[in-house]
Structure 1
Amino acid sequence: MSLKLGFCVFALSLAAYSQTQQASLRGLVQDSSGASVPNATLRLTNVDQNRSWETKANESGAYVFLQIPPGNYSLSVEVPGFKKYNRSGLTLEVAMVAEINVPLEVGQLTESIQVTGETPLLETASSTLGEVVNSITTENLPLNGRNVLQLVALTPGINVNSIYRNQTSGSGSIGSNGFSANGGRNVSSSILVDGSPQEVMGFNQPAYVPSPDAVQEFKVQTNNLSAEYGRSGGAVINMVHRSGTSKFSGVLYEFLRNDKFDANGFFNNLNGRSKGAFRFNQFGATLGGPLSKSRQRSFFFVNYEGVRTVNPGSATFSVPTEQMRNGDFSQISGIIYDPATIDAAGQRQPFAGNIIPASRHNAVGKKLISYYPTPTRSGVINNYFTQRGNRNERNVISTRIDHRFSDNHNIFGRFSRDYATNTQADQYGNIASPNPGWDGVNNNSATIDDTLIWKGWVIHGNAGYAYHTNPREPLPGRTPKPSELGFPAYVDAVAQFYLFPTISAAGYSQLGPEGSYIIGNKFETHTWTGDASRLFGSHTIKFGGTHRLNRVSNFRPNNPSGTYTFNDGFTRRVFNQTGGGDAIASMLLGLASSGQIQTEPSLALQVKYTALYIQDDWRVNDRLTLNLGLRWDVDHPQTERFDRASWFDLDAKIPLTVPGMGPFYGGIVFAGSRTPGAPRGVKDFDLNNFAPRIGLAYKITRNLVFRSGVGFFYAPTTGIGPNATNAGGISFNSSTPYTSSIDGGRTPYTTISNPFPDGFIPPKNGADGLLTFVGQGITGNFRYDRIPYSVQWNGNLQYQLPDNMLLDVAYAGNTGVKLQANAGFNQLADQYLALGNDLNRVVANPFFGILPAASSIGRATTTYGQLLLPRPWLTGLTQSFGTLAHSSYHALQTKFRKRYAGGLQFLAAYTWSKMIDDFSSVAGFLGEQNPGYTNNNRRDLDKSISALHLPHNLTFNYQWELPFGKGRRWMTRGGFTDYVFGGWIVNGVTSLQSGTPISIGSRNNTTGSFGGGQRPNSTGVASKTEGGTRDRIYGWFNKAAFADAAPFQFGNVGRFLPDNLGPGLQNWDLSILKDFRFSERMRLQFRSEFFNAFNNVNFSNPSGTTFGQPNFGQITGAERARIIQFGLKLYY
């Protein structure tokens, strides 16, 4: 088989699949009277690569060019009896559906009409909302870290947070998909590079994002997409990688930042601290051109980029004072009570002088406290400030090769690699530092794309591969054994890794890294896509689909050396009421409120996804086009290579015999070979996910178009990568809880000197079947979960103004259904809360001797409330990533755009919106607050504004070539005046946003609901304090607006405060460029870029959102102060 034939077979074999970045051009060929001219020959030529496509108009005079790479084109039309038509200056953008009617004049073919005309701004053939980011924007706008994905924020309907705004690397970064689009959830958008999806399994992060100099352009599509796009709950980001042209060209560049040029941060100044050393160097090169002698068949493009960063960072922590370390709490306002003095009424007596005598100090607790750094300022809250930094080294290389077999057959391939290492900030300077090691990314991305024109059909295929790994581990010397910290030696034998345990103390900063610090994940996405399309009369028919294979080798052990949480529970006056006490005092006494130690397996997970679609773009007449599509999405159930997957079956009868009780329903079922007759997948096939799409574009006048559409979109599921024990591994992992009390918190059961007196619960590897984890809490999947989806709709008016300007006004709506959430299913029924303290009454345990002794309810006694639970043989049952939540979004979106002409381009975008939901995100790592359900029995009561609610959002970006110098309007002679006054370009991005929602929590949970949460009560007083933002940083909330909820009540404050948003954003990024031109093709560009140019202080939301804590309502962080970056680029 010849190579060419092989590629043809490849394209044809993929004809059932697609999702394309290519453009299309369609229209009518008409005579001077407007009548259709059939059988015209049309030729479309790429002027950069001298590549051509040819087609014929049909009997109705309609023509279409499909699967055309974005670029600059000319169009020629020939038909006997008419003059030859030539049109230049056409630009086809990524995913564009352009419409150009061709007016012919009667005459001879030897005569010609020469027309220079740009592609129309009006979108007369599509109802999709979105925006194209062209190469002028990616090259000229100031980008902090030069991550092009930051530019999605220029599109109406996009909501980004501070983490996303400051994301300096797109590839492999979870935050890179952290934006919300048109009411969709964060991490739910699809990111395509050269038509291949880059998201990997887990939290949908992209494996590869090109450097700005390697991006030709990209399109952000946010609402009512064509049926060829799917598996997105937000936007589709469609990027096109640069390719070579018929001429050699490239760029060398260097960008640098130095703290000497930067402004000091607000809180640095407040604490009397300097900026600290900071160095940022980003350098690279591109080269592209022809590979063949003819300069018409093969082209190449290669890009390298390196980044070297030394980042000082700064952070503020709350640590115990020297007196507190020695037991003296006399300087705090709260009274410390002695847990050994509790009486029958549940009340305790205070320590004399608020001092815990040395004889009562717990050796392990005192040792742990000693690892807190020494305060650098007075007080108890935010009293330790540090500027320890991290170092980052990153390298990116990417290569693309395009080849043209003929005018009817084109192919390209791309391979990209992005890898980085980061040495983390050692914030405490000892083994208890929250960041004790290093992390990195290692990403690969590859694409091969083939387009074949055959007998009027355009057949297109694309195969893609994305790989991502993000290792993280501690540095040598940061791996203490538990016994070295004073824990008993038996903990050493169980610890899966030696690492400082995670120590959380309410109101104080954390000791040790997060519980799932160790990471050894590997993610892979294999994708096959393709489509076939053809013009049938006035219908452009396209059908195809996609198939993905997602794999992950998941290893991220939770709490391998244990985790222990301390609060004021054992040192407050009344054991189940707020008042007095302190978490550090409890730690000094060795009395944790909760804890556990775990072991985890390394899982090999796999999910397949298949979709088929058909799209009919029907040009009804010159004014009206209908977009009619249907898509069928199938998410295959997740499997694990060795059948270590499982799910919780609410209806399964478990073989548990307890005298006087039962039967019992609800247990874990293991997949495949481990349970006779069980399927390998953790969920049922969901085969009814049909997604119709309907849209229209109606040309009211020559310059005014109305567009509208509605469609269903099935979203990706998340949470099956970075922390996958919810999807598999149950029983192959183990979790032994720390039991703080067996009488509801009256008296301690043990101390951290002997944290697991009843032994450990070992992994059972599925041997217990339906009895797995009885006596414990279970977090897992429920088999009946379905795929989340949204219904999107829009109505849109576009008006084209003179001078290449467009005004666009749209209403966009989105409702989310079956969205993912975490919820409890073993909470006490609400009516039992009226029993009050009787729920904590100690009673004989009917499960004693039946359930494992090391489990929380395997002892001789338990509480009365435990026996009233829906499943009393479990301490808890949490459905993880269940499809339980709902959302709604409504927005007015406007944009005013000027296409590049005369040296000027700008886009102003404003969004006025409201978003409501009852659970905002399962990806709680992106900076937003993400409170869970307060009352799992009444999830509907948590309906409020969303964590992603952003009422007002205005962005304005511009690129202006000043009209001086050679080739400009004034001072055109060249020479000295050109070097001084010519070649100046001013660019900028202005962002103005309202604040984001804030959730208020309670410092203690006294509901007694066995799984519910608690918030304060509202007193009816307004929660917003008076004054400007700076006046409120130490008192964002009016404390009189809240009161502690009484025991056994949930509180009535809403999930988010509707009338007290966080501080807003005012940010101006500017760049000033100067070109020194040496020849037509060579120029040197000097760049000065100013991020937050006017040094506005953009405060973060309050860090203290727990009512009753000393830091309640305090703001301790702000976004970056002014940063100055210089760059030098040599274009050749």
Structure 2
Amino acid sequence: MYLFRGAPQNLRETAWKEESIMIQESIYTSRNENLLHLNHTPAGLLGIGRRTLRTLTVLVAFLAAISGQSIGQTTTGSVYGTVTDQTDAVIPNAAITITSVQTGITQTSSSNDSGNYLFPALPTGDYTVAVQSPGFGSQTQKATHLDANQNINVSFKLRPGNTSQTITVDSAGALVETRDSQLTTTVDQKRIEDLPLNGRAAYSLVQLVPGVTTYSAQSVVGDFNGTKFSVNGNRTNEDSYYLDGAFNTALFNQGGLLVPNPDALQEFRLLTSDFDAEYGRFPGAVVNAITRSGTNEFHGSVYDYFRNSALNLKNYFNLIVTPLKQNQFGGTFGGPIIHKKAFIFGSYEGLQIRTPTIIAPSSVSLPTPAQAKGDFSALPASKWPKMANGAPYSCNGVQGVICPALLDPVAQGLLKYVPLADPVTGLSPQQEASANTSANQYLIRVDVQPTSSHLLSGTFFRSTGLINNPGQSSNQILDYSVGGQHDSQSNVVLSDVWTISANKLNTIRPFYTLSHAYISQELPAVTWDQLGSTVGYGALPFSSPVIAITGYFQMGLAAPGNDNAYQQTIGIEDTFNWNIGNHAIKLGGSFFWNIMREQGSYLSGGLVTFNGYQTTNALADFLLGNALSLRQNNGIFHTLHNPDPALFVQDNWRATHKLTLDLGLRWEAFYGFSGQNNFGTFMPNVQSTRFPNAPLGLLTAGDPGIPDGIINTQYKNFAPRVGFGYDVFGDGKTAVRGAYGIFYADRAAGQITNTEQQPFILDNTISHTPNLIAPYAPGTDPFPYQGMYGPSVNPNPAVFFPGATLSGVKPGAGFPYVHQYNLTIERQLSTDWSLRVAYVGSLSRKFFISRDQNAPIYTPGASTSTAGLNARRPYQPTPNSYVFGSIVQNADAGNATYNALQTTLTKRLTHGFSFLASYVYAKSLDISSIDPANITLTLSDQNNLSRDRAPSDYDIPHVFVASYIWETPKVNSLGVFGRYVLSDWQVNGITTLRKGTPFTVTSGVDSNLDGISTDRPNEVGNPFRGGLNRAQKIQGFFNTAAFAQVPAGTPYGNTARNSLFGPGLVNTDFSGFKNFPAWRESTVQFRAEVFNLFNNVNLSNPNGTLTSPLFGKISGSATARQIQFALKVSF
């Protein structure tokens, strides 16, 4: 899905109406009119037929009967141990009772013949464990804290005596994991609540986890595409996200959907490498956010976080501080419904942001009044626009000037919306436009223990928000296009943990997840006909033309128009735990039903790109109307669904007292998407039987061997997992762990929806337009083009337009998979400190990349016009009157490697101090880092992928992150002054140091004559410059003289992809609290949070386009210092 931010305020009511329609009804667009039609049947609601519905019912019933569960749903941890006497002889049938400190709920078990016991599925929290056995004294272990997916060893050595004789042991528990081979990191409630979080986005704390890079900030309003980050070299769309164990991942682009505010979260836990067989679907991290539950006492809080631009410093490149007024306010409340039986917890948070979008003068290059009229004579001679013979343009004897008669009138009309640079200094003016935001979120969680053998839980989470943001890129013309987006999300999660017997337990979890985005654009600022152009619109003419001028500015939003989309998952998961001797067996499966719909106008107005191919100056190309390309389509319409089953078995085998083996096997069936039946692909020399008049090679769903989702269902995806944990000295303080596993990667729905093609969807691209008055000349403008929407998917007659860009997934493509492996040494250094050193590696295979199957064959001196490009393409159909353009294939041809040393130093919270730090030294290599749902062609050579094997976009070799919490000791010796003034202070912080991210130097010229401007120049010198101060870095971060255009007749330069690294990052976020005792157990807390405490100027990557006037220069930086105050009352 392609979304943009921003909506006028008058869309609020419309957005809410559309929200209710999208949740309750299935929609389609009539062939002849743009109206919403409603289908009220249950099958219509779910997007499934009756036969499939019956099949779904049977499968769900089957899962409920046999047990099963899948991917990362676990919200619980386990407590295990061995009961022995003083001679180390095992004690069978000892009675063990575990009690939750927060709720008082108890569970019982007994030791087996090997003396072992296991509580496999305990909610997170604090527990006491007690053991009794005839002839021995009782023992109780206190102060044991349990996190999700954590295994804690609580073993007992009983002394002879009466059971009335009780020994109480107060211990914080071991810091070293000796049993589990998977790499995990827990971010506990203390860190979630107390560490400084910009925007109060809990997902931002994933940056504390070693191996995580390129985090994209979580929207606090809701994000249809989801939060994304790369972990251990995996792509950013390869992580699994869960809320209270239920799937919370975006289907279109596989990001993490919204989670509740920090005050509503108990913790979240990341599994980052070689996780057990119960997890799958994606090879990246498993991120599991767990909400808080009520306790036996009533507690709550109210708060307001306040930010104002008066407290902030201006961005280094802005003229002023961006105006801002922001309030995040809300509260929590929880307590017992029935003492020790039923509990409730609720949370609300609201958000109001009042701020503009500001386009800094340094991030955009606008024409001066003279340049807008074609006069470039004030520029250096090397920057003058050049004619085809290489000579500069001249007018009336003045070089560097394009005569007015040559200027395109449509371009001149568009320039009326562009603010001009100062005629003397050449500086661009600063632009501003409103970017207000409002949001609300609600959470209710209920936990009930109706009997001693059942623990029931239910969670409901709801978020709504409206974002106004006219600027989508840093070089946007803000006065040209406005619009807005309304996001909403709903999650319902139910669970039942059933203790069948002392060694058998079953957990079942049904859930429902819905994410909806409604986008609307006001009437276009300008239309083609108003400009005097003959360009026709697509079927849904509600988007302005988009103009992109490389190195200068962009007019319009890259994903404009109206858009209405939702994605939902209905699922059931089940896990069965069985403790047999030294084996802790877990087996289960899951069944998800995924549904996606989207309707939008998209690029019906066209995307026109200028890059200097004609004159070597992109702005001059625009003035002449000579575009590199014009891409246009007739909108988008998707309605998809697919089943998603999985099964697994896992055995945690305690082979010896010191050695534990993890043995697992996972099975996943990846079904293709069904529903709309209008997707396509390309197979050379194969004729469509569904549409016999289709060009040779163009196939659609319904042709023999081409299913709805193009890719056939694959049933043989077996993923073994093996690992070990070795307690070196048997004291639980030193462990060596290792693991290996295979992990498959499911594909995003967006990867399939982008393969819509003729005769249903026309997505047409032409190269090298003669002008903007009639850019399709001498060819025929194929628009307007209605295409086929709604339930009818068999057009008669089927129409195929020549020259259209085709796209499709490679038929018979496999599913990507990753070999993961790690070796870890972990040591408890003292009572509170531990150190972990790990080698983490992976090999990724068959990952999808976008390549042009029909790339033009390089011929020196060949024309790069549309006709010239098509004449050199290898595939051309019969009849000859039809011409193929680009054929973008999503091919399973990508691979990647990752190797890293990851170290973590931890001090748990004692004496008021906690510390967590990690350092990672890593190398990540791949061919392409682009999300496969994005079909943009970025390969430099479509037929030689090895040219692009280089550091990944998210390759950051050195990363250090530290977080710390310090509570000052109480001062009781100075009376009131000591108790109320000097006591109850707290300081917290996060410090990050890392190397910069890689970037590629491009030529801005189509040297290989394939119509794509991602070519790279020659590196003719040393590009590195050392010892630069900040001003020097901004003016020339690297040696621009080290790069030159390739000579004529040379298709490829020797510059490698991602060969340079940008500026590094140094940042400290800080928070300070003062707690004031109030009545009884209530406190009033004043908080001050400072983001970028030392106001470090963290520069962005420089401009890497050789033909840009900003080549080598830096025009942006990260946010300057921001301050936030808060008042919080807890009771």
TM-score, normalised relative to structure 2: 0.88
Call closer, same or farther: CA 1:377–1:522 in 2, change over 3 Å: farther
Q: Does 1:632 align with 2:683?
A: no
TM-superposed CA distance for 1:254, in Å, is 0.6
| Deviation (angstroms), 1:495 | 5.8
How much identity, in percent, do the aligned residues show? 28
State the secondary structure of the residue aligned to 1:995: coil
Aligned with residue 901 of structure 2, among 883, 887, 892: 892
Task: Identify if the C-alpha distance between structure 1 residues 465 and 208 changes in structure 2 by more than 3 Å, giving closer, same or farther.
Answer: farther
User: 2 CA distance for matches of 1:128 and 1:1112?
Assistant: 45
In structure 2, distance between residues paired with 1:431 and 1:985: 45
Cα distance, 1:561 vs. partner?
1.3
Residue type of the partner of 2:681? W
Displacement of 1:261 = 1.1
Structure 1 residue 402 displacement after superposition = 0.8
CA 1035–426 in structure 1, closer or farther in 2 if over 3 Å, else same: closer
Q: 1:908 to 1:652 in 2, by over 3 A?
A: same
Q: How does 1:168-183 map to 2 (within 5 A)?
A: 168-169=219-220, 171-172=222-223, 174=225, 176=227, 178-183=228-233
Among 687, 705, 730, the residue aligned to 2:735? 705
Q: Which residue of structure 2 aligns with residue 1003 of structure 1?
A: 1004
Say which is worse superposed, 44-53 or 112-121, in terms of deviation: 112-121
What is the correspondence of 1:859-1008 to structure 2 with a 5 Å cutoff? 865-866=872-873, 874-922=883-931, 932-965=938-971, 971=972, 975-1008=976-1009
Q: 1:392 aligns with which of 410, 428, 437?
A: 437
Q: How does 1:1028-1043 map to 2 (within 5 A)?
A: 1028-1043=1029-1044
Deviation at 1:277, TM superposition (A): 2.0
| Whole-angstrom distance in 1 between the partners of 2:766 and 2:936 | 26
Return the alpha-carbon distance in structure 2 between the equivalents of residues 884 and 769 of structure 1.
Answer: 36
Residues 144 and 435 (structure 1), Cα distance of their counterparts in 2 relative to 1, 3 Å cut: farther
* 2:697 aligned partner: 667
CA distance in 2, matches of 1:708, 1:567: 51
> In 2 relative to 1, CA 730–495 (structure 1 residues): closer, same or farther, beyond 3 Å?
closer
Query: C-alpha separation between the residues in 1 aligned to 2:727 and 2:423?
Result: 67
Give 1:667 shift.
2.1
Deviation, 1:676, is 6.5
Q: How does 1:717-736 map to 2 (within 5 A)?
A: 717-718=747-748, 720-721=749-750, 725-728=753-756, 730-736=758-764
* TM-aligned CA deviation for residue 1113 of structure 1: 0.9
Counterpart contact for 1:253–1:285, Cα < 8 Å = yes
Mapping of residues 377-456 of structure 1, within 5 Å: 383-425=428-470, 433=479, 436-455=482-501, 456=503
Matched, 1:361 2:407: yes
8 Å contact 2:584–2:652 — kept in the other structure?
yes
The 10-residue stretch of structure 1 (508-517 or 87-96) with the greater mean CA deviation from structure 2: 508-517
Alpha-carbon spacing, 1:704–1:867, altered in 2? closer, same or farther (3 Å):
closer
Deviation for aligned residue 1:472: 2.0
Change (3 A) 1:415 1:880: farther
Amino acid corresponding to residue 285 of structure 1 in structure 2: G
Whether contact under 8 Å (2:835, 2:905) holds in the other structure is yes
1:259-309 CA distances to partner (integer Å, 9 max, x unpaired)? 1111122112xxxx22142111000010001112xx111111110000111
Question: Structure 1: which 5+ residue stretches go unaligned?
Answer: 1-7, 573-580, 742-747, 843-855, 966-970
Helix, strand or coil: the match of 2:1041? Answer: helix
Q: SS of the residue aligned with 1:1040?
A: helix
Query: Which string of whole-angstrom CA distances, capped at 9 and with x for unpartnered residues, describes residues 370-394 of structure 1?
Result: 21113258555x6232243410001
Offset of residue 596 of structure 1: 3.3
State how far apart, in whole Å, the 2-side matches of 1:443 and 1:397 are: 10
Deviation at 1:815, TM superposition (A): 1.4
Residues 469 and 811 of structure 1: CA distance in aligned 2, closer, same or farther (over 3 Å)? same
Deviation at 1:491, TM superposition (A): 2.4
Corresponding position of 1:319: 366
Superposition deviation, residue 961 in structure 1:
0.5
Partner Cα separation in structure 1 for residue 962 and residue 936 of structure 2: 30
Q: What residue number does 1:686 align with?
A: 714
Between the aligned partners of 1:119 and 1:1030, the Cα distance in structure 2 is 52
Residues 1111-1122 of structure 1 mapped to structure 2, 5 A cutoff? 1111-1122=1110-1121
Report deviation, 1:921.
2.2
Residues 537-563 of structure 1, C-alpha deviations (whole Å, 9 max, x = no match) = 100011012222221112243311122
Which of 331, 337, 344 aligns to 2:378? It is 331
Q: Report how far residue 105 of structure 1 moved.
A: 0.7
Separation (CA, whole Å) in 1 of partners of 2:1054 and 2:913: 50
1:503 to 541, 547, 550: 547
> 1:89 is paired with a residue of what secondary structure?
strand
1:836 pairs with one of 860, 865, 869: 860
Give distance in 2, aligned partners of 1:503 and 1:755.
19
Letter of the aligned partner of 1:813 in structure 2? G
3-state SS of 1:1106 partner:
coil
Deviations 1:914-945 (A, max 9, x none): 111111122799xxx99821111110221111
**2:735 is matched by which residue type in structure 1?**
V
Q: Secondary structure at the match of 2:317?
A: helix
Whole-Å separation in 1 of the counterparts to 2:152 and 2:798 = 59
Structure 1 residues 129 and 841 mapped into 2: Cα distance closer, same or farther (>3 Å)? closer
- Cα-to-partner distance string for 1:306-349 (whole Å, 9 max, x where unaligned): 0111223432321111112223222223579999x86xx79786
Closer, same or farther in 2 for the Cα pair 1:53/1:10, shift >3 Å?
farther
Partner of 1:520: 564
Match of 2:238?
A: 188
CA gap of 1:392–1:756, structure 2 versus 1, over 3 A, is farther
- The one-letter amino acid paired with 2:851 is A
Where does residue 576 of structure 1 map in the other structure?
none
Deviation at 1:738, TM superposition (A): 4.4
Q: Does 1:1021 align with 2:1055?
A: no
SS of alignment partner, residue 327 of structure 1: coil
Deviation at 1:125, TM superposition (A): 1.1
Paired residue for 2:348, among 301, 304, 315?
304
The residue number in structure 2 matching 1:648 is 682
Counterpart residue type for residue 626 of structure 2: L
3-state SS of paired residue (2:74): coil
User: In the alignment, what sits opposite 2:125?
Assistant: 71
Larger deviation: 985-994 or 708-717? 708-717
- Change in Cα spacing, 1:79 to 1:434, as seen in structure 2 (3 Å) is farther
Could you tell me how far apart the structure 1 residues matched to 2:477 and 2:1006 are?
32
1:435-584 residue pairs with structure 2 within 5 A? Answer: 436-455=482-501, 456-475=503-522, 477-488=523-534, 491=536, 494=538, 496-570=540-614, 572=615, 581-584=616-619
Q: Deviations over 1:130-170 (max 9, x none)?
A: 21111110111011101010001101111134x43xx4527
Name stretches of at least 5 consecutive residues in structure 2 with no aligned partner: 1-59, 789-793
Task: Give the 3-state SS of the residue equivalent to 2:1032 in structure 1.
Answer: helix
State the AA in 2 paired with 1:630: L
Match of 1:201 among 251, 261, 265: 251
Q: Residues 181-201 of structure 1: CA distance to partner in whole angstroms, max 9, x if unpaired?
A: 111111211111111110021
In 2, the alpha carbon distance for the partners of 1:138 and 1:528 equals 29
Match of 2:436, SS state, is: strand
CA distance in 1, matches of 2:828, 2:850: 47
Q: Which amino acid aligns with 2:939?
A: Y
For the Cα contact (< 8 Å) 2:514–2:568, is it kept in 1?
Answer: yes
Tell me how large the CA RMSD over aligned residues is. 3.1
Q: Is the 8 A contact 2:125 2:147 kept in 1?
A: yes
Work out the CA distance in 2 between the residues paired with 1:168 and 1:1118. 20
Question: What letter matches 1:132 in structure 2?
Answer: T
Distance 1:1011 1:1048, change over 3 A: farther
Alignment of 1:37-56 (within 5 A): 37-56=91-110
Task: Give 1:982 deviation, angstroms.
Answer: 0.7
| Separation in structure 2 between the aligned mates of residue 1110 and residue 732 of structure 1, nearest angstrom | 42
Q: 1:666 to 1:158 in 2, by over 3 A?
A: farther
Secondary structure of the 1:547 match is strand
Q: For the Cα contact (< 8 Å) 2:314–2:320, is it kept in 1?
A: yes
Report the CA distance between 1:1109 and its aligned residue: 1.8
Once the two structures are superposed, residues 193-217 of structure 1 have per-residue CA deviations (whole angstroms, 9 ceiling, x without a partner) of 1111100211112333111000001
Equivalent in the alignment of 1:852: none
Q: TM-score, normalised by structure 1?
A: 0.88
Q: Is the 8 A contact 1:924 1:930 kept in 2?
A: no
Which of 738, 746, 749 is matched with 1:716 structurally? 746
